[in-house]
Amino acid sequence: MLKQERADYVRKRLDELYPETPIPLDHTDAYTLLVAVLLSAQCTDKRVNEVTPALWKLADNPYDMGRKKALTVEKIIKPCGLSPRKSRAIVDLSNILVDEHNGEVPQSFEALEALPGVGHKTASVVMSQAFGVPAFPVDTHIHRLAQRWGLSRGKNVTQTEADLKKLFPKESWNKLHLQIIFYGREYCTARGCNGLMCEICCECYPNRKTPPVVNSA
């Protein structure tokens, strides 16, 4: 298969496997999604969903969250890891939203990425899932699968994102990035598939004999 043929096959098969793409992180609005995505850095979505009910009980909007002490937030989110840094970012970004954005989550990449603790990937998730703006958030899992499927040889997630955006139509990005995550968790896991075992890997490279080298993100 040529690269574009592999991309077309991947999209078609993922549409068959995952016609619905529920957002993995529990949230009620753009603000709670933003905080949940921030918490998910180096943490599983399952763990985040276990922690956020207590956090939302403490504060589920930037006005209330901005008045909390970072240490109070830290105690709640500790199971998510990196809690000192994440708690400060949550309190600080809440105050910025109140002071500079009328308590609303801004609908632009530039404004989101200016917030504490919010990088391009987090901003992309919020823009795509909260506001429906075409984006292709790439984490280490998507980076790994894109390499195994021969869709990118990017040395980092930024290069991989650019490669994937060229291969797939813009209207598919928001759904596709979730579909790839779902497939990676279910079939093409980091340890469960080495590029030789899952359905898509085998279809893309039926004659592959040795595991592909995956550039670390």
Q: Spell out the domains of the chain, with CATH numbers in brackets.
A: 3-21+136-204 (1.10.1670.10), 30-129 (1.10.340.30)
Among 15, 60, 139, 163, the active-site one is 139
Per-residue model confidence (pLDDT) at position 215: 83
Phi, psi at 147, each rounded to 5°:
-75, -45
Among 12, 64, 121, 209, the active-site one is 121
In terms of Cα–Cα distance, which of 215, 188, 181 is closest to 37?
A: 181
Per-residue model confidence (pLDDT) at position 214: 84
Spatial contact of 186 and 109, defined as CB atoms under 8 Å apart: no
Q: Which helix (H) or strand (E) holds 166?
A: helix 157-167
**CA–CA distance, 139 with 161 (Å, rounded to integer):** 9
Per-residue model confidence (pLDDT) at position 96: 98
* DSSP secondary structure, 15-38, as one string: HHH-S----SS--SSHHHHHHHHH
Give whole-number Cα distances, 138 to 26, 55, 202, in Å: 20, 26, 23
Which token pair is 186? 């279910």
**CA–CA distance, 179 with 15 (Å, rounded to integer):** 8
Say whether 139 is catalytic.
yes
**CA–CA distance, 157 with 60 (Å, rounded to integer):** 31
Per-residue model confidence (pLDDT) at position 217: 63
Encode the chain (217 residues) as per-residue pLDDT tens digits: 899 999 999 999 999 999 999 999 999 999 999 999 999 999 999 999 999 999 999 999 999 999 999 999 999 999 999 999 999 999 999 999 999 999 999 999 999 999 999 999 999 999 999 999 999 999 888 999 999 999 999 999 999 999 999 999 999 999 999 999 999 999 999 888 999 999 999 999 999 999 998 887 6
pTM, rounded to two decimals: 0.93
Taking the C-alpha atoms of 142, 144, 150 and 151 in order, what is their torsion angle to the nearest 10 degrees? 30
Which token pair is 24? 């993995």
Q: Is the dihedral of CA 131, 186, 143, 3 positive or negative?
A: negative
